[in-house]
Amino acid sequence: MLNQKQIKNLESAGFERWTKGQDDRLYINAFDVVANDEGFQAQIGRSGRFEREIEATKVYIDIETEEIVIDYGFKGAFDRKDFKALVDALVSEAEEVKIEDVIVDDATITFEESPEVVTGIATDKSGSKYLVRWAILPAWNDDEDEIIDAADWKHPISIELQD
């Protein structure tokens, strides 16, 4: 099930929430999916049929199952694989947790086999906890203070939501 943060991010990316009965979905207009893709825009400009196919396409995410559903409307000629790749990229980008969204409230030093990392517990503005890992830059000694100074704080290796 999508959490509130993911739903908010998807809404910020252009999805709109729709709920009816037991259905809880986030829809996006298919034209919004292809808005920044030059190839699709060129095809829309050349073909009214292609434009109608895009217009008939429905795209949504089922909030309960997290399934991305693309209903192409009718058996058209446009490249479904490329369209699905655009949808997947849009969803992935919207769901990605960014370092700007979290505030580190604690940090502990751990060493993993490769590379050495600083591991921190981070909290976003809504109170969700994340495990964040930063790489240690090459110029460090065994002194903990120097290790902390050598971490690349603006570019974490990973940000993982904790349950």
Encoded tokens for 145: 């203070």
Q: What is the pLDDT along the chain (163 residues), one digit of tens a residue?
A: 888 878 888 998 899 999 999 999 999 999 999 988 888 888 888 888 888 888 889 999 999 999 999 998 766 655 678 888 899 988 888 776 665 566 555 555 455 544 567 777 777 666 777 777 777 665 555 555 555 566 666 677 777 777 6
pLDDT at 121: 77
The burial of 107, by beta-carbon neighbours within 10 Å (0-12 exposed, 13-18 middle, 19 or more buried), is given as middle
- Which helix H or strand E contains 61, and what residues bound it? strand 58-62
59-to-20, 70, 80, 103, 125 alpha-carbon distances in Å: 16, 5, 12, 33, 29
Q: What is the pTM of this model?
A: 0.62
